[in-house]
Structure 1
């Protein structure tokens, strides 16, 4: 009996030791697991928020070669996440944007590869627009498409510009009936009836829906190609209207008529805000030189680029369309707002002066100036 008791006690002690070892192993395992989970939780809490793809604005530049205002645009895009914008440039075929041709990394390699030679006053200008849109539409996150010239500059910060454009579900297209004789070619009828003939600015902002309409158009564009041809214009044509001569070639100014007329043809005019966001001046108030008036808009040189000029553009809150006796009051998010986010035509020296004097408000703090 004593031997059995000793054996039983020894077995009991062994069980207790085994239990203790298992308990310690379990506790140690729990401690390691907790430590791992804690590290994972701490890593999650300390890591930056996950990348969220937002709707983007595609900035579509139509340039001859270089972008003379690249320094201004570099400040405009500085510090912004790439998930809010994309850039496409139509320049002459073969021109590359790299360290040798631009000072802004935002423009490196942003030229499109299927660009064409563009001739002013010809349908090739609207073909360039269509090519830009085709490339930009390949990115499914591009929701707004802003056309800009190489002489355009931004008036406000990127944040203000982004919110302004995205807050309006419509395209920004200044469009009005063009009653001036000599522009509409009767040969366009019946494909483009005269009651759908519209005029406006080339510098439009399109929604994705309207951008797709432009790219997919195979009816209106061929008519512009066939019947829009450049012809010489007398100097100071605004002071001396052209005589009506139906037998001569019509100058229908395709880049100022195509998008507006196309949207009218498609019955989409209710989906546009009928004004442009890019300011253009045809007469410089401070200049008495007649050579600075004519077919082309005013070019602001360094001496013209003053804070007063920029402020006068920013202060515009309505636009009057004389041919329709219509005044368009500008608004954003349902509230009164200034009319323009961009302005042209500025030389490189003018842009650098405005940038150095902090007149444009293109930094992130510029939203306060809006």
Structure 2
């Protein structure tokens, strides 16, 4: 009896303890590991491959790319070489020296030409009445030109042979700059070809260039074969591929920038040796398209406008820009050129990306400062062969243009009773508008145009009417 009771009590005590349960091994928080890994991968990719367009930047931050770049740790910077340190010290000191403003500052017009200047008469009229505000320098690489304008007499400098696409083109530019820098009154320097013409009057260009805070040097990044594809790793460490830039040859620049070009030997040597036609792997590199854009991008990116004030038409996609013939020069063409307010570049890679940059003058659109929405004071096209008709048919220097001008004047001012082809009327109207436009630029009238107008019956009967009309042109 006692034994049975004791057994039941022992069983009751055992039931008080919780029964033993089989525990499975703890599960790893896999989803947390995956999430942390994805976030880490995202941050690494964002750091190594930052967004290249503003739309992507605003996905990550309402403040754009700058906020994202400021949040990420800075990229490690390499140690500068001794030559780089020496070069940057000299260039920094030159840029920090405030320019000495002369009583009458001048603009130096630097003409880079193989020989004669076909538009010398036009430039002569452009310069007239502005003596003391400009200086002229001519680098004739092949033939000594014969000048008829007093502004070009004895203005040739010692010239060297220039081969297209080689460093000799840069050497000629530096030679022009060096000679122009000898005159302390020259504060701005304009590089021109033999086929450049002014599209604005002297006062406009003078004020436009002297009252700006930047140099107009074209510089943009082209990831394609005709841009970064021309880069050579032999330029390392001073010139890295990410800093390699491309741009048009024609520049206008401040005196400080012209001076640092003269002071530079480090970057010039890199391009002289490692940027030339016929490089390794069949690549071609052209120093005149890459040296200055890369140089200023590395050393003073904020000091240049990244676009050129010289208009060059590359729309034909050839090795040379479009050459304007006499039939191309119309009022509509000049109006279109002088209405440009954006700098447009197309990359040479397969994507053919279009890069559009507003042409800003001291931080403002030029259209805000002027009555006309113009941003391009100059235009350039390849040299026109002597046998061709002149690109500006209004200059009155080619006798073959006189009959054409005379027929257009009679057609517009004294139309015949019989109907004329509409296209002929439109072409004549554009031609006469172009004459009037150039007359306003130069302040001078084309003799051929005046002679043709004198033969119009209504002007013969009323000479005062002709005088008033001619006065309106200039």
Question: How high is the TM-score relative to the length of structure 1?
Answer: 0.72
Query: Residues 201-350 of structure 1: matches in 2 within 5 Å?
Result: 201-231=248-278, 247-266=280-299, 268-283=300-315, 294-323=318-347, 326-332=355-361, 334-337=364-367, 338-345=374-381, 347=384, 349-350=389-390
- Describe the SS at the equivalent of 2:356: strand
The answer to whether the Cα contact below 8 Å between 1:304 and 1:350 also exists between their aligned partners in 2 is no
Query: Residues 66-85 of structure 1: matches in 2 within 5 Å?
Result: 66-81=116-131, 83-85=132-134
The answer to whether the Cα contact below 8 Å between 2:124 and 2:149 also exists between their aligned partners in 1 is yes
Distance across 2 between alignment mates of 1:123 and 1:343? 24
- Describe the SS at the equivalent of 1:312: helix
Question: Greater relative contact order: 1 or 2 (C-alpha under 8 angstroms, separation 6 or more)?
Answer: 1
Inter-CA distance 275–336: structure 2 relative to 1 (3 Å threshold): same
**Superposition deviation, residue 365 in structure 1:** 9.0
Distance across 2 between alignment mates of 1:183 and 1:92? 27
Query: Residues 1-370 of structure 1: matches in 2 within 5 Å?
Result: 53-81=103-131, 83-92=132-141, 95-97=143-145, 101-113=146-158, 115-181=159-225, 182-231=229-278, 247-266=280-299, 268-283=300-315, 294-323=318-347, 326-332=355-361, 334-337=364-367, 338-345=374-381, 347=384, 349-355=389-395, 357-360=435-438, 361-364=440-443
Q: Which has the higher helix share?
A: 2
**Superposition deviation, residue 364 in structure 1:** 4.8
Distance across 2 between alignment mates of 1:335 and 1:247? 43
**Superposition deviation, residue 320 in structure 1:** 3.0
Question: How high is the TM-score relative to the length of structure 2?
Answer: 0.57
**Superposition deviation, residue 303 in structure 1:** 1.6
The answer to whether the Cα contact below 8 Å between 1:228 and 1:250 also exists between their aligned partners in 2 is no
Structure 1: gaps of 5 or more residues: 1-51, 232-245, 285-292
The answer to whether the Cα contact below 8 Å between 2:366 and 2:375 also exists between their aligned partners in 1 is no
Over residues 108-141 of structure 1, what are the superposed CA-to-partner deviations in whole Å (9 max), with x where a residue is unaligned? Answer: 111102x110000111100111111111100011
Structure 2: gaps of 5 or more residues: 1-101, 348-352, 368-373, 397-434, 446-471
Inter-CA distance 307–350: structure 2 relative to 1 (3 Å threshold): farther
Distance across 2 between alignment mates of 1:297 and 1:320? 15
Q: Displaced runs of 4+ in structure 1, greater than 4 A? A: 322-326
Aligned length: 288
The answer to whether the Cα contact below 8 Å between 2:110 and 2:138 also exists between their aligned partners in 1 is yes
- Describe the SS at the equivalent of 2:293: helix
Larger Rg belongs to: 2
